[in-house]
Amino acid sequence: MMGRARVYETPAGVEFDLFRRGEILRRRLFFDEIVLVTYHRSRGVLALVVLGLLALGGVALAVAVGRQVLEGGLIVLGTAALPFLVLFLVQLTLGVHTVTVFGRRTMARAVFSWRPGRARGLYERLRSRVAEAQAEAPTGARSLW
């Protein structure tokens, strides 16, 4: 379940807008119903494979052109291979950072590809807000209605 997400904080909870195949799915989790928040880092294999293949294609094209005209090969290398190679290395270095929130009735996940600081910030923010909300809530059972 990879994909972009936009996260909104409301006074009572947090809303995730998940961008999935041409649709936006909205998930709402109330702070007093959240049972677990997790944070993890992964490599983002799919992005690495795609970027790697594009970089390889660019290099192959540059070699093919460079055999005929050396300057042309260098231009192709700089424009068609280098950007993907840089993106590949950045992706490899930064990885993909994921924050997952589990509630009583549903869960939501936000994936951050290029901004690890935001993922960490969201995790810390959610931890503190949920702890605050559940400390404020009256002890004992809460009515369903």
Contact positions vs another protein (CB under 8 A): 4, 6, 17, 19, 22-27, 32-40, 42, 98, 100, 102, 104-107, 109, 123, 127, 130-131, 134, 137-145
Name the residue nearer to another protein (CB basis): 79 or 134. 134
Residue 68 or 143 with smaller CB distance to another protein: 143
CB of 101 to another protein, least distance (A): 10
Q: Which is nearer to another protein, 87 or 97 (CB)?
A: 97
| CA nearest to 107, candidates 38, 32, 29 | 29
Nearest distance from C-beta of residue 20 to another protein, angstroms = 8
Which of 8, 2, 19, 24 has its CA nearest to residue 126?
A: 8
Among 118, 111, 121, 94, which Cα is nearest to 4's? Answer: 111
Q: Kindly state the tokens that stand for 114.
A: 């290029």
Q: Which DSSP helix (H) or strand (E) runs through 39?
A: strand 34-42
Least separation, in Å, of the C-beta of 124 and another protein? 10
Q: How far is the CB of 104 from another protein (least distance, A)?
A: 7
CA distance 69 to 122: 51
Q: Residue 36: helix, strand or coil by DSSP?
A: strand
CB of 99 to another protein, least distance (A): 9
Nearer to another protein, 71 or 136 (CB): 136
Judged by beta carbon, residue 24 or residue 64, the one nearer another protein is 24
Instruction: Please return the burial class of 30, using the count of CB atoms within 10 Å of its CB with bins 0-12, 13-18 and 19+.
Output: middle
